[in-house]
Structure 1
Amino acid sequence: MRATIRTELELPMRFHDGWSTTADVISFDGLADGREHLALRWGPPARRTPLVRVHSECLTGDVLGSARCDCGPQLRESVERIAEAGGYLLYLRQEGRGIGLYAKLDAYALQDEGLDTYEANLALGYGEDERDYTVAAQMLQALGVRRVDLLTNNPDKAEQLVALGIEVAALVPTAAHLSGSNGRYLAAKVRHGHRIRSVAQ
């Protein structure tokens, strides 16, 4: 299935700490799952290969400022780094590693009883991580992007994109945004293959 660009427009952005930027926001028709995913573009890139972040939606972290995860700080870091380097942020509607918002909150309740994030998903009858990056590859192809430097600590994103025909020239790590509430969450990520190299507080 081939995706096409639906709409492009300029979006002024301002974050909670006062930092601001302007991105081109792009919507699509023909995405495999029929959902409303977005690409945000800054650029053109200073190098031939754009810096790309594939970011899964996290209402609690991105919008509500939850300290249980590092999603909001990763989003903020990624936007600034891509704005400097040129590239794309793909914002995918895959809440809770693909299980949905309410199920993610159910998983939070199980985490409060001692399970880690992956164990909680399994206890609810889901996979450890149900995200699929087919739409990310479709979006990049619609944008004419076939080769990326991928801003991530999660090798699974790169592996899926490569299998879907996107060349990943480099994995570019984000910081680990440690808070008083997310240490167990970050430790679980490391146990499940995330390559977290440094800590920002």
Structure 2
Amino acid sequence: MANPEAASVIRACAQAVLQAIEAHGHDTAKLTAALQAPFAALVARPDLREAGVPRTGNHVANSQYLYYDGDLSILLFELPKGKPIPVHDHGNWESMAIYRGRVQHTVYERRDDGSVEGFADLTVIEDRVLEPGDSAVIAPPADIHGFMALTDDSWGITVASGTYKTERCYFQPDAKTVVTRNPRG
């Protein structure tokens, strides 16, 4: 069970996220600004890795729920150094912050209308290295991303509003291709 102080910080973060969504909708710039302080409080917790409940992760072996209420989830997950997480969508709004390490993170927007099966034309909206405390909001229309840990002991925090799609789109931006599949399959 989580330390009561850690649980309080996690709960406060969840409440701040809900308030930010209510106030700013999917305005990524305003959401990013509103989430800086709650994310900073989470990142400051040295005991966060002991605060969660294990979950089956997508693309990673070590993932846990820090918070879940049926609509909002806060996840903590470990990223293996040098393993690219494929470019994908979620079907919902998400924000990713870095707890430990350094992560190359790229956000894309789809330029085509999706009417040609297997084809996707993506444009890069943001490409940067995220370090502890840095975050990015991934929300429509720029709701596609891929990332890779640049250092050992890299951990991310994901805050997601809504339900993830069971079948997601996986992109190869250079080849301009897309396939739909279950992230666990």
Taking structure 2 as the reference length, the TM-score comes to 0.28
User: Which structure has more RCO (C-alpha within 8 Å, separation ≥ 6)?
Assistant: 2
Higher strand share: 2
Taking structure 1 as the reference length, the TM-score comes to 0.27
